[in-house]
Chain A
Amino acid sequence: MSSSGSVGPKVTQRLKHKLGFKSYEKPKDSTAREQQRKAAQVLDAEGRDVTPRPLCPTFLGVLPLDEIFSSKGSDRSKPTSSFADLLTSSSFLESTSQSSLSPKDSWTKETIDSLTLQDVNPNLPAPYKVPVKINRVEEDLTEDMLDEVVQKVITDRDTLTLLDLSLTHGVSEEAEDSNAVQERNVLYAELCRNRTNNDKYVDGATQTLNGMPKVKKIQTNKNIVVDEGATATNWDLHDSYCEQKKTPEAHEADIQDLTASTGKGQDRTAESISGDTGSTVSSLLEKCEDSFKARPDLEDVLMSDSFKSSLLVMERAVATNVLLAELAAYKNLPVLEDPDRTAEPGFGEQSDEDEEHLSTPTMKHLWVFVCDLTKGYKATSMAWSKKNSNILAVGYIAHDSKNPNPGLICCWSLKNPKWPERVYSCHSDVMSLDFSANNPSQLAVGMKDGSISIYSVNTEGETAFIASSREGSRKHLHPVMQVTWTKHQLKLSEKERQDVLVSVSIDGRITKWFLGGSGLDCIDLMKLKKIYDAKKKAAGGKKVEGNVLVPAIPALCFDFHPTEYGIYLVGTYDGLIHECSVSNNEQFLNTYKHHIGPVNHVEWSPFSPDVFLSCSSDWSMHLWQRGVSAPTMSFRSAYSEVHIAQWSSNSPALFAAIYKQWVEVWDLNSNIMFPTIVHHAAADVELTSLLFARDSDSVLVGDTEGQVTVYKLPNLRVGRTKKVESLDDIIQSVSSHRW
């Protein structure tokens, strides 16, 4: 009775008295709607009626109610509502102007013309004029009329069939068994027909008995509820997922390992790691864990691999803690003052430097690489790893010739000066070492018996040994003085330059090595032969025939040019320095002759091109320029053999020299006549090797005790007013002064 709410209370009461007057509401509705619709006629610009027609076909059913109402003479009561009830999608209007029930034909015409705008265009509701309707209704109904008993007959309308599938009974004609279905349908239809008057079929009635309901009660124990919480952390999910990926065989294999009591098995026992105190995290392996009650033993723990790696890390942590200040000084890092420990004086404070500036500069002793293994050896050669500047390889020679390991190689890390990371023993004294740049883990070693070995420092022990030239047919027969990895002359691109191992030996051969077949094989780059002085020949009157054996001259050192690959210098036993090229193995490009004694070390300057330094056992060092036959500068400060003279890799005018008992550091910026720093070794100790640190102002000195000491050079430029000159400028000034 939704519409009654809109009608006035008077009419509502009257309506309630009548039976079947519910339908009256609808006429009001319909009339109201009719008004709406009439009002909502669509007219185009020229006034033509273009109202859309109803979508559903009109129904030509009889309207019994209309007849009844029309007898009363009421205009209003021409309900189309009965239709409207049944067919909600459309409703039919009739003209209010009609006074009598129109015949069907006229009805249809009307209805066709009428609007059903409610359905078609719901956006145009005309306002529902309630008071007007009410008034109209009230006018027609008189009191007498209301008191009459009126009979209404409400009938159902014909069923509107939209789709009839009865013929097919749900099976399409194209289906395979449609014939069978249709037959059955026909049979069934016959059966139904026959049933009605047939004696075979008797209608009977049954009644099902309802069982008596019975209430039964039981009582159970209360379910014990336990709250269990688990934290699913990110990593636990990851671990479970990784475990799940493993095949069952792998699981079995792991369980086998458990019994073997290796450390691996232990990792599986505690998959449940507490995310926080109390709650445990579940994992797939807990069921495996229960079956194997392996309890980690002290031995198992200690022997496990992870324990060893933990120990390694821990040792480094402890060592760096102890050496914190020294390492910071090495790396030129400032040490933060610990506010809780103000009593200790800082290591690199400014006051120290100021004091030093006044007195002679000295090297600060930082720390020593020494361990029990190196006792009884002397350190002869050192090399930095090309890739990791923390790794230092040191070669040792045993003092005692009866030592079963006459040669030793130790790879030290800056983080732990008390124990080397790798220790390899060699069958012969180690004379020289070098790391490869291309394969940073390869270390080439030249030994006293003339053999060359390559080690891989990635692994420990015997597996590190890669190749040796011991079985080679053309190996050196004399001690190998120096090995070096140098860039190949041929290049594809700068990055692809391969490293080539070159060695120099006392037998006068400079050879290039490569890994062939079963070991190292070599090609001679140069053979040093004695150069006969032309004058001597003439004086002697003898001509040297071609098939006279020419003795080879021992070569003691060599160095490749840093930028021009393929050019190298060789220092020889008779004081000559030859400049040679890789491509020419017969002749020297140049010879520099000034030294009287054997040339112990030559080195190109890493900063100035074509400048090199040489030192020899004739107590002197010379600075040469390439192409100039006489040395540009000479340094002579002590009456002792110079073993090694090396350029600093940080400062262009700095180099250091090792004598037997002391180290000299020359700074050509400040003084070209005297060394800037002189450091004496302890009394019984001789110094045997020298190496500049690459990324720090430090110098490493090896001695006969097997110790490698790290010294920090003071900042020699502190307090200087002059600008630092490059080496070229110094040379220029020296050359100009000379002439």
Chain B
Amino acid sequence: MKVDVEGTLKRIESYKGVIGTIVVNAEGIPIRSTLDNSTTVQYAGLLRHLAAMARSSVRDIDPQNDLTVLRIHSKKYEIMVAPENNYLLIVIQNPCE
């Protein structure tokens, strides 16, 4: 059985404490989101540069390495960003609800 993308996304959203998921394309335009528009745009814009910078740092040290997930654990929740060449997958979770 192939990985069902829609099913997986729905499953992720159903985990305990997940606040929202955002998929952003290469230009920074959110293409799929479970949060409201203003929050989505804000997250997309801010996290894009941070993820690119983190990716650049990891690859600078060893060009054959690559960043898989950037996790920002803050007081209130945890933001997980998976950057790729043509998209950005962002999941926000509050693990201790």
Q: Is the CB of A273 within 8 A of B95?
A: no
Could you say which residues of chain A place their CB within 8 Å of the CB of B68? Answer: 310, 313
A318/B59 contact (C-beta < 8 A), A307-B89, A311-B89 known: no
| A619 part of interface (Cβ distance < 8 Å) | no
Q: How far is the CB of B15 from chain A (nearest CB, A)?
A: 5
B31 at the interface (CB under 8 A from A): yes
Interface size on B, residues (CB 8 A): 44
| Known A302-B23, A314-B89; contact A418-B11, beta-carbon cutoff 8 A | yes
Question: Within B1-32, which residues are at the interface with A (CB < 8 Å)?
Answer: 1-3, 5-6, 8-9, 11-12, 15-18, 23, 25-26, 31-32
Q: B61 — nearest CB in chain A belongs to which residue?
A: A234
Per-residue CB contact flags for chain A residues 35-74 toward chain B (1 = under 8 Å, else 0) read 0000000000000000000000000000000000000000
How far is B6's CA from A551's CA once the two chains are assembled, in angstroms? 56
Q: Among the listed A234, A266, A315, A344, which residue makes an inter-chain contact with B85, where contact means beta carbons less than 8 Å apart?
A: A266
A234-B59, A277-B49, A324-B95 known; A314-B69 Cβ under 8 A: yes
Contact check, B11 vs A269: say whether CB atoms are below 8 A apart.
Answer: no
Within the assembled complex, what's the spacing in Å between the Cα atoms of A461 and B3? 10
| CB within 8 Å for A298 and B32 given contacts A318-B12, A321-B95 | yes
Any chain B CB within 8 A of the CB of A494? no
- Whether B53 lies near A276 (C-beta < 8 A) is yes
Task: Determine how close the nearest CB of chain A comes to the CB of B73; give it in whole angstroms.
Answer: 9
Q: Could you mark each residue 300-314 of chain A with 1 if its beta carbon is under 8 Å from any beta carbon of chain B, else 0? A: 111110111011111
Known: A308-B5, A322-B16. A296 touches B25 (CB 8 A): yes
- A305 to chain B minimum Cβ distance, whole angstroms, is 9
Q: Say yes or no for B41: interface residue by CB 8 A criterion.
A: no
How many angstroms between the C-alpha atoms of A276 and B12 in the bound complex? 31
Contact status B49-A307, CB under 8 Å = no
Q: Are A317 and B96 in contact (CB under 8 A)?
A: no
Contact A234–B63 (Cβ < 8 Å): yes
Q: Are B31 and A301 in contact (CB under 8 A)?
A: yes
Chain A residues near B84: list those with CB within 8 A.
306-307, 310
* B40 within 8 A of partner (CB): no
Cross-chain contact B78 with A307 (CB below 8 angstroms): no
Instruction: Determine the distance from Cα of A266 to Cα of B25 in the docked complex, in whole angstroms.
Output: 11
Assuming the A-B contacts A235-B56, A311-B5, are A270 and B85 also in contact, with contact meaning beta carbons closer than 8 angstroms in the complex?
yes
Nearest chain B CB to A643 CB, angstrom units: 30
- Cα A170 to Cα B52 in complex, Å, equals 70
A344-B11 Cα distance, complex, nearest whole Å: 26
Nearest CB in chain A: distance from B8 CB, A: 5
Counting CB contacts under 8 A, is B43 at the interface?
A: no
Contact of A315 among B12, B31, B53 (CB under 8 A): B12
Q: Is the CB of A340 within 8 A of B89?
A: no
| Secondary structure class of chain A's binding surface, majority of residues | helix
Bound: A473/B63 CA distance, A: 55
Q: Check B11 against A315 for contact (C-beta < 8 Å).
A: yes
Residues of A within 8 A of B91 (CB): 314, 317-318
Output the least CB separation between A373 and chain B (Å). 9
A256-297 contact mask (Cβ, 8 Å, vs B): 1 or 0: 000000010011011001111100000000000000000010
Question: A317 to chain B: which residues have CB within 8 Å?
Answer: 69, 71, 80, 91
Contact of A460 among B1, B17, B60, B95 (CB under 8 A): B1
Q: Which residues of B contact A344 (CB under 8 A)?
A: 96
Give B75-97 interface residues, CB cut-off 8 Å to A. Answer: 75, 78, 80, 82, 84-87, 89, 91, 93, 95-96
Q: Is the CB of B5 within 8 A of A296?
A: no
Asked if residues A235 and B17 are in contact (CB atoms below 8 Å), the reply is no
| A233 touching B15, Cβ below 8 Å | no
Q: Does B37 belong to the interface (CB within 8 Å)?
A: no
Indicate whether A327 reaches chain B with its CB closer than 8 angstroms. Answer: no
Q: Mark A621-651, 1 if CB is under 8 A from B, else 0.
A: 0000000000000000000000000000000
Q: Tell me the minimal C-beta distance from B61 to chain A in angstroms.
A: 8
Whether B64 sits at the interface, judged by CB under 8 Å, is yes
Assess whether B8 is in contact with A418, with CB atoms less than 8 Å apart: no
| A341: interface (CB < 8 Å) | yes
CB <8 Å contact, A319 and B25: no
Bound state CA distance, A301 and B87, in angstroms?
7
Q: In the complex the two chains form, is A296's CB within 8 Å of B12's CB?
A: no
User: What CA separation (Å) do A706 and B91 show in the bound complex?
Assistant: 30
Contact B63 A238 (CB under 8 A): yes
Check B71 against A311 for contact (C-beta < 8 Å): no
- A15 at the A/B interface (Cβ < 8 Å)? no
Known A-B contacts A269-B26, A312-B3; A418 and B86 likewise in contact (beta carbons under 8 Å): no
**Quick one: given A234-B63, A239-B63, A274-B49, are A314 and B80 in contact (CB under 8 Å)?**
yes
Q: Which of B1, B2, B16, B55 has the most CB of A within 10 A?
A: B1
Considering residues B23, B68, B75, B87, which has the most beta carbons from chain A within 10 angstroms of its beta carbon?
B87
> Which residues of chain B (32-72) have a CB below 8 Å from chain A?
32, 49, 52-53, 55-56, 59-61, 63-64, 68-69, 71
Q: If the complex has contacts A307-B5, A418-B11, A460-B1, are A298 and B80 also in contact, measured as CB distance less than 8 A? A: no
A237 interfacial by beta-carbon distance below 8 Å = yes
Q: Lowest 6 A-B CB distances belong to which pairs?
A: A238-B63, A235-B59, A310-B82, A266-B86, A235-B63, A321-B95
A residues lining the B interface (CB < 8 Å)? 233-235, 237-239, 263, 266-267, 269-270, 273-277, 296, 298, 300-304, 306-308, 310-315, 317-319, 321-322, 324, 338, 340-341, 344, 418-419, 423, 460-461
